[in-house]
């Protein structure tokens, strides 16, 4: 029997590089500073009190989820319309969607806790909450579609179509508080008239949180897409092994 | 070594089920089932959107005027709690709320808690009975303005709430 082409093992092939470890360190330090800013350096809101500190997690997680789903759509488009139909783009799309679903879930949980403390209820079927949960469910569906089987190219084409359709929900979610009557407040920073209705250090902490969470997203997607590359390589290795076995039987 | 006829036979063989192939088939059912569950849940969410979210509340000035805000049905009504109207008596919270210069008297059985206070916008759930809105749930809407307490300002929360832009 011929020797089987070895394929990389996730146990022996690290997904980290010097650059990604450096990025991880920056994210860690950023998170420490964000915690200090959010819990100790910023003051309470004059109406909401300490509850406002949830904003420094809730808004960045929602932002990262939007960003992740946009990256998924862009990477899917690059796969579909790229000359080489590179699976790297498909794996970036998949990794980004996975991270986005995690952050969208975190945003829903932190929003629900914030809602309990201010609105007096964990959940209401208001426009923002309903469209957000629909977006979350859509991307869980996207991940299920990726796992339906078939070749890597089939997976990439199938999930690429879903990604390009699903991303259209994001404007609907973001502008739901303007389009319909919502319990959720309107945007404080990205207002259509450009106004910012937030005090200085609060605004700085919020924007710092958005920056740190964005770097965390980049770090997570970097590693996850490398893991997906290894998983695909293992699948390909299994196929190659089967072909080698069949060939060896003929000899 | 020369290839014989058998070696060139490319007819697909009948697959012999192995533990791995059985596992693989089982694995494909899971995402398919998950997808069905997601489609069902997505349908529920869309139904909720059309039945509840798209028209979440009526404003005070729309009660009994606008279609869907008839006083004979259960309503969600939005308005700002009037300054000086808030009273507590026998476990009841009594206040009036206004929107577009129309006022509605509200009685809530209990204490809304949280950041409920005068001048803050609220959504009250309940029914109109003899011209009074009997509420069993109060949701406090907080504005999109965030500011810290500052000794140079009038820093009472009540004052801050009353200084918010009026609805």
pLDDT (average), residues B106-122: 89
The overall longest dimension of chain A from CA atoms, in Å, is 82
Is the CB of residue A66 less than 8 Å from the CB of residue A174? yes
Cβ-defined contact of A134 to B123 (cutoff 8 Å) = no
Is the CB of residue B79 less than 8 Å from the CB of residue B122? yes
Beta strand segments in chain A, E: none
Compute the Cα dihedral for A191, A193, A194, A195 and give only its sign. Answer: negative
- The secondary structure of residue A40, as a DSSP letter, is I
pTM of the model: 0.83
For chain B, helix, strand, coil in percent to 5 are 30, 30, 45
Is the CB of residue B118 less than 8 Å from the CB of residue B161? yes
Q: Is A52 on the interface with B (CB under 8 A)?
A: yes
List CB contacts of B162: < 8 A, sequence separation 6 or more. B83, B118, B119
Question: Which of A42, A54, A94, A120 is most worth mutating to test chain B (most B CB atoms within 10 A of its CB)?
Answer: A120
Compute the Cα dihedral for A130, A132, A136, A139 and give only its sign. Answer: positive
Which of the residue ranges A115-119, B123-127, B160-164 would you say has the lowest mean pLDDT?
B160-164
Residues of B in contact with A199 (CB under 8 A): 146-148
Which letter, b or e, does each residue of B4-42 get, where b requires 16 or more Cβ atoms within 10 Å of its Cβ? Answer: eeeeeeeeeeeeeeeeeeeeeeeeeeebeebbeebeeeb
Res A163: pLDDT: 97
DSSP H or E stretch at residue B148: none
Residue of B nearest to A116 (CA): B114
Residues of A in contact with B138 (CB under 8 A): 120
How far from A128 is each of A169, B67, B68, B164, CA to CA, in Å? Answer: 12, 23, 21, 22
In this predicted structure, the answer to whether residue B47 has a pLDDT above a threshold of 80 is yes
Res B139: pLDDT: 92
Question: Hey, where are the domains in chain A?
Answer: 18-242
Res A1: pLDDT: 43
Q: Is A222 on the interface with B (CB under 8 A)?
A: no
Residue A198's Cβ-side half-sphere holds a number of Cα atoms within 13 Å equal to 23
Beta strand segments in chain B, E: 58-59, 75-81, 87-89, 92-99, 102-109, 121-129, 132-140
Q: What gap in Å lies between CA B119 and CA A115, rounded to an integer?
A: 19
Provide CATH code, domain A18-242: 1.20.120
User: Could you list the pLDDT tens digit for every one of the 251 residues in chain A?
Assistant: 444 455 556 566 678 888 999 999 999 999 999 999 999 999 898 888 899 999 999 999 999 999 999 999 999 999 999 989 999 999 999 999 999 999 999 999 999 999 999 888 899 899 999 999 999 999 999 999 999 888 999 999 999 999 999 999 999 999 999 899 888 888 777 776 777 778 889 999 999 999 999 999 999 999 999 999 988 988 887 777 777 777 777 66
What is this model's ipTM? Answer: 0.74
Q: Is A45 on the interface with B (CB under 8 A)?
A: yes
In this predicted structure, the answer to whether residue B23 has a pLDDT above a threshold of 60 is no
Question: Which of B33, B36, B56 is most worth mutating to test chain A (most A CB atoms within 10 A of its CB)?
Answer: B56
B147 min Cα distance to partner chain A (Å)? 5
Res B48: pLDDT: 87
DSSP H or E stretch at residue B138: strand B132-140
Res B1: pLDDT: 46
A134 min Cα distance to partner chain B (Å)? 6
Res A66: pLDDT: 97
């Amino acid at each position: 029997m011929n020797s089987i082409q070895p394929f990389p093992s996730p146990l022996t092939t690290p997904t980290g590089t010097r650059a990604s470890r450096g990025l991880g360190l920056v994210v860690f330090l950023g998170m420490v500073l964000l915690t200090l800013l959010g819990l100790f350096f910023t003051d309470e809101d004059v109406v909401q009190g300490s509850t406002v500190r949830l904003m420094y997690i809730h808004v960045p997680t929602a932002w990262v989820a939007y960003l992740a789903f946009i990256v998924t759509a862009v990477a899917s488009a690059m796969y579909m319309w790229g000359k080489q139909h590179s699976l790297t783009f498909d794996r970036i799309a998949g990794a980004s969607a996975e991270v986005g679903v995690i952050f969208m879930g975190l945003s829903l949980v932190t929003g629900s806790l914030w809602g309990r403390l201010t609105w007096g209820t964990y959940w209401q079927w208001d426009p923002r909450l309903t469209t957000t949960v629909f977006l979350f469910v859509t991307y869980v569906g996207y991940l299920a579609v990726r796992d339906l089987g078939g070749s890597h190219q089939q997976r990439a084409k199938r999930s690429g179509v879903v990604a390009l359709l699903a991303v259209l929900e994001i404007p609907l979610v973001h502008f739901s508080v303007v389009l319909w009557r919502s319990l959720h407040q309107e945007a404080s920073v990205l207002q259509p008239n450009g106004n910012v209705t937030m005090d200085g250090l609060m605004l700085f902490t919020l924007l710092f949180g958005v920056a740190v969470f964005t770097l965390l997203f980049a770090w997570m997607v970097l590693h996850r897409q490398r893991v997906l590359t290894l998983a695909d390589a293992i699948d390909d290795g299994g196929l190659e092994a089967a072909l080698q076995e069949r060939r060896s039987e003929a000899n | 070594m020369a290839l014989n006829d058998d070696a060139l036979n490319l007819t697909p063989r009948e697959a012999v089920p192995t533990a791995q192939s059985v596992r693989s088939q089982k694995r494909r059912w899971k995402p398919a089932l998950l997808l069905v569950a997601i489609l069902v849940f997505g349908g529920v969410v869309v139904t909720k959107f059309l039945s509840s979210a798209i028209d979440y509340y009526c404003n005070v000035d729309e009660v009994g005027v606008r279609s869907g805000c008839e006083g004979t049905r259960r309503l969600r009504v939005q308005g700002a709690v009037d300054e000086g109207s808030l009273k507590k008596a026998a476990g009841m919270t009594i206040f009036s709320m206004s929107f577009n210069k129309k006022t509605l008297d509200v009685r809530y059985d209990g204490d809304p808690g949280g950041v409920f206070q005068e001048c803050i916008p609220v959504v009250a759930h309940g029914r109109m009975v003899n011209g009074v809105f009997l509420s069993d749930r109060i949701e406090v809407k907080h504005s999109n303005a965030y500011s810290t307490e500052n000794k140079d300002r009038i820093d009472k929360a009540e004052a801050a709430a009353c200084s918010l832009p009026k609805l």
